Amino acid sequence: MDLSTPLAALGPVFRMKRSALSKIGLETVEDLLLYTPFRYDNNLIVSKIGPTQPGETVTIQGNVIKTSNVFTKKKLTIQRIIIEDETGSIEAVFFNQRFLLKNVHEGDFVSFAGRIDRFGNKKTIAVRSYEVLKSENSEAIHTIGLVPIYSEKNGLTSKWFRNRIKPLIDNLHVTDYLPESIIHENQLMSLSAAISSIHFPKTLTDAERARLRFSFDELLIRNAAASIRKKKLLEKERAVPFEVKKNKPKIQKFIKSLPFELTSAQRKAIDDIFSDLSKDTPMNRLLEGDVGSGKTVVASVAAYLAYLNGFQVAFMAPTEILANQHFLTLSKFLEPQGLKIELLTGSSKKKDKGSKIKEKNQPPTPKRQFDIAVGTHALIHKRAEFEKMGLVIIDEQQRFGVEQRAILKEKGTNPHLLSMTATPIPRTIFLTIYADLALSVLDELPVGRKRVKTWLTPEEKRENGYKWIAEKVKGEKSQVFIVCPFIEPSETLSTVKAAKEEFEKLQKEVFPDLNLGLLHGKMKAAEKDEVIKNFREGKVDILVATPVIEVGIDIPTADIIVIEAADRFGLAQLHQLRGRVGRGDKESYCLLFSDSKSDTTRERLTYLQTISDGAKLAEIDLKLRGPGDMFGTAQHGAPDLRIASLTDLTTVEAAAKAAEKILPQLDHYLDLKERIEQADIPKVSKD
């Protein structure tokens, strides 16, 4: 057995849980060993029974001298187990653990961790965890020491993990894949010590050092992989350079045709992109810009240049709603220039427009089906047949995995790639994890944009708030988003149910004479389209939605947004949500509601009242809540690290240095080399 052995090969206990394991990505011994505990129960104090005192939390061991199962009224059962050692005896009481006495019998040697208590003059223990041991000399893994607690999913309990992981660690011989010099210079734990200490540490310091070792490895591997990618891109991959100069007049004319002037940040980004596109190495550029900074139009200009060079463009967005919106935007901008745009999403059929219907009955022509295909994942998996794809554009790139981006790129031969995101990524992190990406930042909002006036509204002002909204709708034709509480990280049935209930209540009781629409992720694509279309056209006054509208929706006439249970979101996410309004020239408003009584929570939310810069808010988030929330809980993690934390800049930098040092000698460290290469292999995503 080694780290790469499939778990299924280790026997029936693993095979029985195969699908549960694979659902959380555990396929090999290594996967399981890197499934690290998120905390430890402290059972460091072990005591004889006699000297224990009420109030102490301890682990005691002894022989079972009596067990009983007592049935009380109301179907309650109580299990009593008396154990003794050479210093005394004690009674453990359990409630409703009917199967307990199938596992624990008189004469067994057991270990109990829990709190000592007293009933009258009888000493008892409230057991937190127990285990039956083969003999007094057997090692207790559930009740003594720092006992690992794992995230429990699909019926896999912490006890199950401990029972499986302990023998694996005891029987595993691993050779360290890191060079001795790197381990030494960075004072890292050896691989085998780290594996053992992360699960069963002797002290919390040990656990911390083990975690550090894995973080280091992960960052080193990611960094090295990015550097290799960059080098390959520069040396090997040849893209067809786009002709820029010759097409300048047409581009200029197109930009003039837009209904607004480009900001200078947009013009600068377009220059960056054109300069990349005119090279014979494929572009790999990230366009970062706060919500509403106008990334889409920059992408449209790039797409137009691709078209003028005879290439097709793939434009991928994370949701159908967004794909649909981009489809409309691109059609509006680029159809007048003669481009054919097509929409490809999972559930919707091709959007037939008048001109296409006519084409249907004509004999097939050698002419191309489309110039730009806009879509969701469907672009990757299905129907999109590209003849000559030269540019891939990915919106909200943090929503996609590395794999998905790679697969889409493979539909062309070395196409240029433009990714877009509103998530600000600190520079050090950018250099470390995305060493192969070039960056353009839209650090300027279009002129005339007003700040969204934001209030954390106390519950007692809710009714007044609703009244004000009704007046704004009737008097000034305001259009309103009401974002319902986000109940689960992903949009589950309970979230949808809450939205439906809120919608019905609001329509019946609060806004009976206004038009309300409902939008949630479980609706059919056609229904969603219909609601959004009605909202866009002003036929719906108030759109009640789950947080699906977080990403990208652009309806410039909307000017009020209400966010319920705001405390459940990170500041950066709230900022994204708020960015759904304030896109036109109307004064816009955001009302935040939260029933949290915590002062720190309310204080956190008040940052939104004064700060309107997404990058600043993300920074505050990072400080207050850590990196997990920066990218949003429900999202495909960008940069989806398993263990490492991006806030640990010291490790980020040390790992980057080590990667740089090791790269030229990689052929001496084949195991490490393989890991670095593996980090880049596109896996087909399961969702």
* Omega before residue 415 within 30° of 0, cis: no
Nearer to Mg ion, 291 or 662 (CB): 291
Minimum distance, C-beta of residue 261 to ligand ADP, in the bound complex (Å) = 6
- Residues 6+ positions from 592 with CB-CB distance below 8 Å: 454, 455, 456, 457, 563, 566, 574, 605, 608
Of the candidates 162, 164, 209, 295, which one interacts with ligand ADP according to CB under 6 A? 295
Q: Would you list the DSSP string of 541-585?
A: SEEEE-GGGGS----TT--EEEETTGGGS-HHHHHHHHTTSS-SS
Strand 122-133, strand 145-149: pairing:
unpaired
Q: Which partner in ligand ADP, Mg ion, none is near 583 (CB below 5 to 8 A by kind)?
A: ligand ADP
**Quick one: angle between helices 295-308 and 320-334, nearest 10?**
60
The conformational region for residue 552 under phi > 0 = left, psi -120 to 50 = alpha, else beta, is: left
Out of 148, 282, 289, 517, the residue judged to bind ligand ADP by CB under 6 A: 289
- 521 touches Mg ion by CB under 5 A: no
Give the H/E segment covering residue 95.
Answer: strand 88-95
Which partner from the list Mg ion, ligand ADP, none does 637 bind, CB cut-off 5 to 8 Å by kind?
A: none
Q: Does 316 bind ligand ADP (CB under 6 A)?
A: no
- Contact between 293 and ligand ADP per CB under 6 A: yes
Residue 620 identity: I
Question: Smallest distance, Å, CB 321 to Mg ion?
Answer: 12
Q: What is the DSSP string of 357-416?
A: HHHHTSPP-SS-S-SEEEESTHHHHSS---SSEEEEEETTGGGS-HHHHHHHHTTSSS-E
| Minimum CB distance to Mg ion smaller for 373 or for 654 | 373
The three-class DSSP label of residue 672 is helix
Binding track, positions 5-44, relative to ligand ADP; x by CB under 6 A: ----------------------------------------
Q: DSSP for 164-199, please give it.
A: HHHHHHHH------S-HHHHHHTTPPPHHHHHHHHH
Q: Which is nearer to ligand ADP, 276 or 395 (CB)?
A: 395
Choice between 64 and 286, CB closer to ligand ADP: 286
Binding residues for Mg ion, rule CB under 5 A, total 1
Whose CB is nearest to ligand ADP?
Answer: 294
CB of 576 to ligand ADP, least distance (A): 9
How far is residue 460 CA from its own chain's centroid? 35
- Quick one: what does residue 639 bind among Mg ion, ligand ADP, none, with the CB cut-off 5 to 8 Å set by partner type? none
Name the residue whose CB lies closest to Mg ion.
Answer: 552
Closest separation in Å from C-beta 396 to ligand ADP: 8
467, with CB counted inside 10 A (0-12, 13-18, 19+), is exposed
Using CB under 5 A as the binding rule, whether residue 401 contacts Mg ion is answered as: no
Q: Is 294 in the site for ligand ADP (CB under 6 A)?
A: yes
Rank residues 395 and 491 by Cβ distance to Mg ion and give the closer one. 395
Nearest to 294 by CA among 425, 436, 440: 440
CA distance 621 to 628: 10
Closest approach of Cβ 336 to ligand ADP, in Å? 15
HEC secondary structure over 283-327: CEEEEEECCCCCHHHHHHHHHHHHHHCCCEEEEECCCHHHHHHHH
Q: Considering the complex, what minimum distance in angstroms separates the CB of residue 348 from Mg ion?
A: 20
Could you tell me the smallest distance in angstroms from the CB atom of residue 648 to ligand ADP?
30
Kindly state the number of chain residues that form the binding site for ligand ADP, as judged by CB under 6 A.
19
* Those residues with Cβ within 8 angstroms of residue 207's Cβ, 6 or more apart along the chain or in another chain: 40, 146, 197, 198, 201
Token pair 């699909």: residue: 154
Shortest Cβ 550–Mg ion spacing (Å): 11
Q: Which is nearer to ligand ADP, 282 or 289 (CB)?
A: 289
Site string for ligand ADP, 100-119 (x = CB under 6 A): --------------------
- Residues numbered 607 to 666 that lie near ligand ADP (CB under 6 A) are none
Tell whether residue 291 is a contact of ligand ADP (CB under 6 A). Answer: yes
Stretch that binds Mg ion, among 491-499, 550-558, 626-634, 667-675 (CB under 5 A): 550-558
Count of helices and strands (H, E) across the chain: 25, 20
Q: Binding to Mg ion by residue 446, rule CB under 5 A?
A: no
- Judged by beta carbon, residue 144 or residue 392, the one nearer ligand ADP is 392
* H/E run at residue 159: helix 158-171
Tell me, residue by residue from 406 to 445, as one string, x for binding to ligand ADP by CB under 6 A and - for no binding.
Answer: ----------------x-----------------------
| Minimum distance, C-beta of residue 428 to ligand ADP, in the bound complex (Å) | 24
Q: Which residues within the stretch 551-590 sit at the binding site for ligand ADP (CB under 6 A)?
A: 552, 554, 556, 583
Query: Site residues for ligand ADP, window 440-469 (CB under 6 A)?
Result: 446
DSSP 3-state assignment of 442?
strand
Rg (CA), the chain: 30
| Of 282, 292, 318, 521, the one binding ligand ADP by CB under 6 A | 292
**Residue 521 contacts ligand ADP per CB under 6 A:** no
Minimum distance from residue 582 beta carbon to ligand ADP (Å): 10
Write the DSSP assignment of 2-53 as a string of letters: -TTSBGGGG-HHHHTTHHHHHHTT--BHHHHHT---SEEEEE--B--STT--
Q: Which range of residues in 10-18, 158-166, 180-188, 551-559 is near Mg ion by CB under 5 A?
A: 551-559
Q: What angle do CA 626, 589, 582 make, to 5 degrees?
A: 85
DSSP H or E stretch at residue 90:
strand 88-95
Q: How far is it, in rounded angstroms, from Cα 35 to Cα 73?
A: 43
User: In the complex, what is the shortest distance from the CB of residue 583 to ligand ADP, in angstroms, rounded to a whole number?
Assistant: 5
Tracing tokens 């195969």 back to the chain, one arrives at: 18
User: Of 61, 79, 124, 296, which one interacts with ligand ADP (CB under 6 A)?
Assistant: 296
Least spacing, CB of residue 448 vs ligand ADP, in Å? 7
With CB under 6 A as the contact rule, the residue among 78, 172, 262, 663 that binds ligand ADP is 262
Could you tell me which stretch among 159-167, 178-186, 220-228, 295-303 binds ligand ADP (CB under 6 A)?
A: 295-303
User: 119 touches which of ligand ADP, Mg ion, none (CB within 5 to 8 A by kind)?
Assistant: none
Q: Interface mask (CB under 6 A) for ligand ADP, residues 59-78, using x and -?
A: --------------------
Pick the stretch among 50-58, 262-270, 385-393, 489-497 that binds ligand ADP (CB under 6 A). Answer: 262-270
Q: Minimum Å distance from CB 615 to Mg ion?
A: 16
- Closest C-alpha to 294, from 484, 579, 572: 579
Interaction of residue 552 with Mg ion, rule CB under 5 A: yes
Q: Write the CB contacts of 246 (distance below 8 Å, at least 6 apart in sequence).
A: none
Spatial separation of the C-alpha atoms in residues 546 and 683, rounded to whole Å: 31
61 burial type by CB count under 10 A (0-12 exposed, 13-18 middle, 19+ buried): buried
Which spans of this chain sit near Mg ion (rule: CB under 5 A)?
A: 552
Which spans of this chain sit near ligand ADP (rule: CB under 6 A)?
A: 260-263, 266, 289, 291-297, 422, 446, 552, 554, 556, 583
